[in-house]
Chain A
Amino acid sequence: MTVESTAPRKPRRSAGTKSTAGKRTTARKSPHAEPELVQLLTPEGERVENAEYDKYVAGITPEELRGLYRDMVLTRRFDAEATSLQRQGELGLWASLLGQEAAQIGSGRALRDDDYVFPTYREHGVAWCRGVDPTNLLGMFRGVNNGGWDPNGNNFHLYTIVIGSQTLHATGYAMGIAKDGADSAVIAYFGDGASSQGDVAESFTFSAVYNAPVVFFCQNNQWAISEPTEKQTRVPLYQRAQGFGFPGVRVDGNDVLASLAVTKWALERARSGEGPTLVEAYTYRMGAHTTSDDPTRYRGDEERLAWEAKDPILRLRRYLEASNHADEGFFAELEAESEALGRRVREAVRAMPDPDHFAMFENVYADGHALVDEERAQFAAYQASFADVEGA
């Protein structure tokens, strides 16, 4: 997308001198074009040095590298299975993470068990890192529940559908950690579209004012349904942090090592009382926003092909192979494991029972509510009236 095509231009001013036009072009430089991002692995799988962030992955073992690769492959396989299940009518909707595996696995593996995660509805890879069974993620998309896991079981909050709301919950939770005198941290996931929401701006304000130990992890996947990043911002997103008084950094979100290193850095800042950080993981949503979306209406193949060349899984595979950290046996075994995961997910979804009819009255209130009790009783009587007919 060119700058000219998005910039609103008054006819009167468009007749400006050449130099004016040049200045305006500079001022409206697309956030897409920003080159400055932290990268430790090139798309060709070459390890590049980075004086600032290398130390956060310095001790990483070949086994750990294979682990990151495995996480990404299995997450992609799970995601593909869920997409297929939606096409087969087993899920009502699916929000694919295809292309964002490195951002999610890198940041997810940077976390400690006692850290707390506030996700959007696309953080399947982070959920994987937290030990949430992937089949639990599918309940809400199948329509059998609105959550599906105990947030405190894995310190992984429920998916949040309303864009950006969870960044405030993350900030409040982090304020609580600070009050408790604990040294854990919180990470809030959101997207480039959510960056336009007032709640995200308010969470930046609150976290800065109270110096809350929270990492804001924005996956800029370039598209908020059909709206490109240019419709959200005129400056690179990570630069937003500066105006709120904390650092922002852009990381190559297709580079799992860089995502891991930068998130570790940000978490360490949070733990040591230095307050919030904004990490912009520059990545790409290769698929549709959700299975209801049709990206062919708003973006071309060229863009997708360019990003496919930066595929996060391929790049780590190239590195593993070139450095002899993984052999054919590893990849073959992982392939078999992927297939088994796909099968398990497929079977689990089809076996998911519909919820009990009375489930809608459960947990509306912690302490109960007279109206809920009354309506549950009415519903029970209504249901029972059918049983009478059937029994007659």
Chain B
Amino acid sequence: MAAEKMALAKAINESLRSALEADPKVLVMGEDVGKLGGVFRVTDGLQKDFGESRVIDTPLAESGIVGTAIGLALRGYRPVVEIQFDGFVFPAYDQIVTQLAKMHARSLGKVKLPVVVRIPYGGGIGAVEHHSESPEALFAHVSGLKVVSPSNASDAYWMMQQAIQSDDPVIFFEPKRRYWDKAEVNTEAIPGPLHKARVVREGTDLTLAAYGPMVKLCQEVADAAAEEGKSLEVLDLRSVSPLDFDSIQTSVEKTRRLVVVHEAPVFFGSGAEIAARITERCFYHLEAPVLRVGGYHAPYPPARLEEEYLPGLDRVLDAVDRALAY
């Protein structure tokens, strides 16, 4: 297999498969990841081919999943654990924040924790409570963790490869509403750096910065704006921690306007950090304040309301208009 069109979920599956093949120390762990292949089938067929010792169905205990993965990593394994849904990560939050994130520093670099925590995240699929959240800022705020989110199948394949190879713990947010979106994946390509942003679309009037599920929306926004004669540049940030501020700065120095889009609540979200730092870096270049479009400071609403809560085409276009009006 070299280049093939595949869905994002399948790309992660292929990536896990090739990692399991390449390194006997790689393990896949989580609830229902074995026979069922995960509730989204991301791990489909892996247990059949690699056995129960490599692809491990776990008890229903998130802290236990992450805590034992830490122990396995200390023994030399490279566990890739699945948290079934975003809102279920919190029982494991203590292990992730107080243990996984800190152990390398506490040991003065003597132990490494190459653990990947996969979290299907975000809304837009009509799910019930705790199945649609975007808690990435809570993890990005914690030193010792890296936080990434692919937006397309090719990145999903390669970023997973790189996350597994990383000696640092990586929180890997998978945009579940894009699981079925297909794209060309070249498994023999040479990938760029894991934490480098990518210009998805060039433009001159304003920069839209997003990651994960919102990249596709921003491309649609840029299409719509183009019909009105506005030229928007779209950045796929790809990594939330570290954040590629250099690429954002380069783009903003060109376009002089920035709108950040994410599903997570705007308040204390990654957009706030981007706005603050880009204001510091590009104060004399900016023609408008950095604007943010995201969720509200309210619990993720019931599914019949989520289209109102989530950033959509019109809300982002509205922010674009406001920025251009300065």
Which A positions have Cβ atoms within 8 angstroms of B? 145-147, 150-153, 157-158, 160, 162, 165, 167-177, 179-180, 198-199, 202-203, 205-206, 209, 362-367, 369-372
Contact = CB atoms under 8 A, between A and B. Distances in A.
A150 B64 CA distance: 25
Given A168-B70, A367-B167, A180 B75 contact: yes
A131 to B, nearest CB: 16
B304 interface: no
A199 B91 CA distance: 10
A112 to B, nearest CB: 16
Contacts of B53: 179
Interface of B: 53, 58-59, 61, 63-64, 66-77, 91, 94-95, 98-99, 102-112, 143-144, 146, 166-168, 195, 241-245
A179 B98 contact: no
A206 B59 contact: yes
In the A-B complex, the 6 residue pairs with the smallest Cβ-Cβ separation, listed nearest first, are A172-B71, A168-B67, A176-B75, A172-B68, A202-B64, A366-B167
B75 A173 contact: yes
Contacts of A160: 99
A363 B104 contact: yes
Contacts of A157: 74
B40 to A, nearest CB: 24
A66 to B, nearest CB: 34
Contact of B95 (A147, A152, A168, A179): A168
Contacts of B59: 202, 205-206, 209
Contacts of B166: 366-367
26 contacts: A147-B108, A162-B98, A162-B99, A165-B98, A167-B67, A168-B66, A169-B70, A169-B71, A169-B99, A171-B67, A172-B69, A172-B73, A173-B75, A175-B72, A198-B63, A199-B64, A199-B94, A202-B59, A205-B61, A362-B108, A363-B107, A363-B109, A366-B166, A367-B167, A367-B168, A371-B241
Contacts, number: 141
B110 A151 contact: yes
B115 to A, nearest CB: 10
B106 A146 contact: yes
Nearest to A212: B68
Contacts of A206: 58-59, 61, 64, 68
B81 to A, nearest CB: 11
Contacts of B76: 176
Nearest to B53: A179
Contacts of A167: 67
Contact of A165 (B69, B99, B109, B241): B99
A172 B29 CA distance: 12
A170 B168 contact: no
A167 B107 CA distance: 18
Contacts of A362: 105, 108-109
